[in-house]
């Protein structure tokens, strides 16, 4: 298996533009997580899905952020409009939930810079 695949790896965009980050989880995994990492705040859980259904989006910073998971093999995180303070590394992770917390496998991340 190729692991969790994220695209793009790097994104530089101007303030106000829409940004879409993509994630393909590991086949067979039923939980998917979006995290954001900055020096100041560390790794923050933004939202997670279980069986394609959003379970907890309390970490989503504001209405400019939205996430979807139309099927078991694809998820997107969209920021519209983007702001410089959104600059961070965004990680997608997936796991196979079989009762209790299990190991999460991370993608390589998308490094977002908003100028």
50, 66, 76, 87: residue in contact with other proteins (rule CB under 8 A): 50
Least gap, CB of 81 to other proteins (angstroms):
27
Q: What are phi and psi of 53, to 5 degrees?
A: -100, 130
C-beta of residue 74 within 8 angstroms of C-beta of residue 85? no
Name the residue nearer to other proteins (CB basis): 73 or 108: 108
Residues in contact with other proteins, counted by CB under 8 A, come to a total of 22
The verdict on 10 binding other proteins (CB under 8 A) reads no
Nearest CA to 45 among 18, 77, 20? 77
Under rule CB under 8 A, residue 72 binds other proteins:
no
1 contacts other proteins (rule: CB under 8 A):
no
Tell me phi and psi for residue 80, to 5 degrees: -150, 115
Classify residue 104 by its DSSP letter. Answer: P
Return d(Cα 73, Cα 51) in angstroms, integer: 10
76 is a contact residue toward other proteins (CB under 8 A): no
- Comparison of 48 and 65: residue with beta carbon closer to other proteins: 48
The number of helices, as runs of H, and strands, as runs of E, in the chain is 0, 11
Residues that bind other proteins (CB under 8 A): 31, 33, 35, 41-43, 45, 48, 50, 55-56, 91, 95, 97, 100-101, 103-104, 106-109
């Amino acid at each position: 298996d190729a692991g969790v695949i994220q695209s793009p790896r790097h994104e530089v965009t101007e303030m106000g533009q829409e940004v879409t980050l993509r994630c393909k989880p590991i086949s067979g995994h039923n939980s998917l997580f979006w995290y954001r990492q900055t020096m100041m705040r560390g790794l923050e859980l933004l939202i997670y899905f279980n069986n394609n259904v959003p379970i907890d989006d309390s970490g989503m910073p504001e209405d400019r952020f939205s996430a979807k998971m139309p099927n078991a093999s694809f998820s997107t995180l969209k920021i519209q409009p983007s702001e410089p303070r959104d600059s961070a590394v965004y990680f997608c992770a997936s796991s196979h939930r079989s009762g209790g917390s299990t190991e999460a496998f991370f993608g390589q991340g998308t490094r977002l810079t908003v100028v």
